[in-house]
Homo-oligomer: A and B are copies of this chain.
Amino acid sequence: MNLRLQKLRKLLKEQNLDAILIASLPNIIYFTNFSAFTTIDRDAYLLITKNKQYIFTHGIYKEAVEKQVSHFELISIQRENPIGLAVKKLVAEQKINKLGFEAFDLRVNEYDRLVTFINKKILVPTDLVHQLRLIKTPDEIRSIKDACKLGDKAYSHMLKNLRTGITEKKLAFDLEFFIKNHGADISFPPIVAFGSNASMIHHVPTDTKLKRNSLILMDFGVKLNNYCSDMTRTVFTGIATEKQKEVYEIVLNAQKKAVDTLQSSILNPKSLINAVDIDKTAREYIIANGYPSMPHSLGHGIGLEVHESPRLTMISKDLLKPGMAFSIEPGIYLPDEFGVRIEDLYAIENNELKQLTNSPKNFTEV
């Protein structure tokens, strides 16, 4: 935690900021490891200056924060001492002339209230903490791996329990139950889609029953010690059609091509790896095989959030570098027919691309 503060202060200095006001929940967790705040209300903010760090929260978290976030000075906020007023005092006391704030998270009305206390001119939008979080420490990658391992276990458990007649809802429920029963959380509501439902990328599980000679797409993730995993597998019950087999192999090859391209780029230490090129490799392979371009990106970074930087999209400007962790998840979607997606997580560690999820993905009829 202290190392993270040090790194942040180095970045603050580089970007000529005297301090940063942090509002986003994952960023608060990044510096405090305190994960009891909710997204229901705005429960807390952090202010990190050149040599001090403060946590602002309501009375209802006071006791827990005092005990668990002792490396931050606690300032209670309430209607009579709103965040704006509390920050104003510190801005004056510590002569803060440039204060970074998180425009990607702060609401318009929070900002409007803030500038009734603080001169708008000192506020500078920044995504400094995202820049920090983009490059994971070995500890962070280990945490993601731990989440992936439990995800693999959950998947193998699910495979054993597939039977005709089970509903998408029940399967999603069993998946969630398995994960939570192992002391973890889900990183997002599991997607379980049978047959033609699988062409809807963010399908919400229904009462549809599993039939013989159908297809099952499962996209789910684990959250363990605040770090997320994410994976997708598509399997077939009974016998798949020739078209399904073909589509499956194309998706699998698209992933393989993206991985191979990435791996060989990593081996060339002089080359810059553009995320956009990795997306292109998989996307164009799918199109070249006569199937529609994916209506989503090839992949996304992962860590404290299930979707974060880097982005592997058609227009990404991100470079892929050591310490980054992300998904590679090509898919083919044929409305009213079916959909296939295969997703794994990878991290660049030193000069190697490591696969973090390790469930089998050969074409499977169960």
Contact = CB atoms under 8 A, between A and B. Distances in A.
Interface of A: 35-36, 38-41, 43, 58-64, 79, 101, 103-109, 111-112, 125, 169, 173, 176-177, 180-181, 183, 188-189, 199-204, 295-296, 305-307, 313-315, 335
A279 to B, nearest CB: 13
B295 A58 contact: yes
A173 B169 contact: no
Contacts of A107: 103-108
A102 to B, nearest CB: 8
Integer count of this chain's copies in the complex: 2
A61 B108 contact: no
Contact of A109 (B36, B125, B189, B315): B125
* Closest 3 pairs (CB-CB, A-B): A59-B295, A60-B201, A103-B108
A312 to B, nearest CB: 14
A233 to B, nearest CB: 18
6 contacts: A40-B305, A60-B295, A63-B335, A106-B108, A169-B183, A173-B181
Nearest to A307: B40
Contact of A188 (B38, B58, B63, B204): B38
A355 B61 CA distance: 29
A174 to B, nearest CB: 10
Contacts of A35: 204
A313 B169 CA distance: 39
Given A40-B307, A173-B180, A64 B112 contact: no
